[in-house]
């Protein structure tokens, strides 16, 4: 089982719609959680951190569910410019250390 | 500020050749990382550094070496390239370690024939 799993998609969503996707993590000792955005053939960039109390930034809302071991990202009123791959990243134990462990990403396509 | 830069952007190698990828950051960050990204897989950590003169192994270090002689530079070396090392390589840096935002370079697309 992968440490961090995401539905690869693609999610095809009409402009203006709301879309949500999840990221599950396998190790309950995982500590911090992030969503990064990666445009096609570009580098990842931090979208938002995910706090225990949830986090909202404009149209984007991130939630953490420790009991079920997943984080979620909700995008409201989606724009064409939201088309990208969304990577989740989790700080979790790896060997004898903690490292940032990445999901493979969920591809989102916003259609006009 | 240029942020994080990587050279080269593209490279094609033959099996057995060697090369060095250069990463430079101008944000005075302590931590630097080398990742590889393959289709259908998440970013995988190759090596990382928590400060000048220090390096540590990540998840997939075999076949790679690194050096951090200067704080702003982090070099990734392939001693004898193999087709399995065909990938996109990203360098990243952060100020405060794993919990801090990582800033990525534009990537190097490497093909090993």
Q: What pLDDT, on the 0 to 100 scale, is given for residue B102?
A: 95
Q: Which of B42, B98, B107 sits opposite A104 (nearest CB)?
A: B42
- Chosen from A40, A43, A93, A95 to mutate, greatest number of chain B CBs within 10 A: A43
What is the DSSP secondary-structure string of B9-36? SEEEE-TT--EEEEEEESS--SEEEEEE
Nearest in space to A33 (alpha carbons), one of A74, A76, A65: A65
Question: How confident is the model over A2-19, as pLDDT tens digits?
Answer: 789 999 999 999 999 999
**Confidence tier at A1 by pLDDT (50, 70, 90):** low
A111: pLDDT strictly greater than 90: yes
Question: How confident is the model over B56-81, as pLDDT tens digits?
Answer: 999 899 999 999 999 999 999 999 99
Q: Cβ of B42 and A87 within 8 Å?
A: yes
Q: Cβ of B98 and A43 within 8 Å?
A: no
Kindly report the backbone phi and psi dihedral angles of residue A52, in degrees, each rounded to the nearest multiple of 5, phi listed first: -60, -30
Q: What pLDDT, on the 0 to 100 scale, is given for residue A30?
A: 86
Question: How confident is the model over A78-108, as pLDDT tens digits?
Answer: 999 999 999 999 998 776 678 899 999 999 9
| Beta bridge pairs of residue A61 | A56, A74
Residue A92 sits at the chain B interface (C-beta within 8 Å): no
């Amino acid at each position: 089982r992968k440490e961090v799993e995401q539905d690869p998609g693609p999610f095809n969503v009409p402009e203006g719609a709301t879309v949500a996707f999840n990221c599950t993590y396998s190790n309950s000792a995982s500590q911090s959680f992030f969503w990064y955005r990666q445009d096609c053939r570009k580098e990842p960039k931090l979208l938002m951190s995910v706090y225990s109390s949830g986090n909202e930034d404009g149209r984007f809302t991130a939630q953490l569910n420790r009991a079920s071991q997943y984080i979620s990202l909700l995008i409201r009123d989606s724009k064409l410019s939201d088309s990208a791959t969304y990577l989740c990243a989790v700080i979790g134990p790896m060997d004898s250390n903690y490292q940032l462990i990445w999901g493979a990403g969920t591809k989102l396509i916003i259609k006009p | 500020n240029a942020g994080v830069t990587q050279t080269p952007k593209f490279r094609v190698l033959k099996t057995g050749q060697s090369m060095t990828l250069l990463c430079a950051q101008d944000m005075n960050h302590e931590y630097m990382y080398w990742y590889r990204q393959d289709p259908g897989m998440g970013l995988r950590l190759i090596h990382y550094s928590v400060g000048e003169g220090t390096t540590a192994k990540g998840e997939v270090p075999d076949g790679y070496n690194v050096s951090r002689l200067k704080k702003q530079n982090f070099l990734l070396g392939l001693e004898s390239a193999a087709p399995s090392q065909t990938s996109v390589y990203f360098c990243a840096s952060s100020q405060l370690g794993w919990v801090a935002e990582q800033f990525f370079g534009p990537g190097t697309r490497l093909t090993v024939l």
